[in-house]
Amino acid sequence: MTEDRHARFSERYASGETPWDSGITPPEIVELLAILPAGSALDLGCGTGTVIRDLLSQGWRADGVDFVRKAIDLASAKLADFHSDSYRLFRHDVTRLDELPELRSDYDLIIDIGCGHTINGAAGMNAYAQAIAERLAPGGIFMLYASHPRPDSTVGWAPVQVERAFGRRLDLLWEQRSHDQAISAPTSWYKLRKP
């Protein structure tokens, strides 16, 4: 399954068909950064590094993980003006974070904007949720953006699935539902905190 996901996203980047890559940090993240003190952040499925660029510009240290080489190459170019000690990019699968010993175990903020919701099955979701909880510092925030399941797609997590997978490990602070025009799907933002 991971190989299928990798091939699908690699093809999308190669063709330039990446509607998720708006080049704009979502307002939910911008609003959060306006109130959080700078610390360390991890962007899962970081794509071309747009969010990492905004984190760095506000004094954060930031790491990014994406399994598509072209995405990582584009992110490296986008971040070239920042000091290399302030960020790290990893070409790796987010479902295997335990294989990245370079990741911190005390991130103040972890962000997933439409990455994890491509993971199918309760076991995969639970492993992903556990990996995130292990890397968040106490009091750390996890911001998750996920589309809801729909008949024409294999992508999506229902709010009840998110609650089941993450609720045992993190406290849900709020959920905000909307409709994403770029992918024509209902979606939710979730803000969760590690106790």
pLDDT digits (tens, 9 = 90+) for 8-36: 665 665 666 665 677 789 999 999 999 99
> Which strands form 107-113's sheet, in the order they lie side by side?
87-91, 61-66, 40-44, 107-113, 136-147, 185-193, 171-180
CATH of the domain at 64: 3.40.50.150
Look at residue 1 in the predicted model and tell me its pLDDT. 45
Stronger pLDDT, 119 or 4, i.e. the higher one? 119
Name the residue range of residue 155's domain.
Answer: 2-193
Residue with tokens 């991971």: 2
pLDDT per position as a tens digit, 103-155:
988 999 999 999 999 898 889 999 999 999 999 999 999 999 999 998 888 88
pLDDT at 160: 96
- How many domains is the chain built from? 1
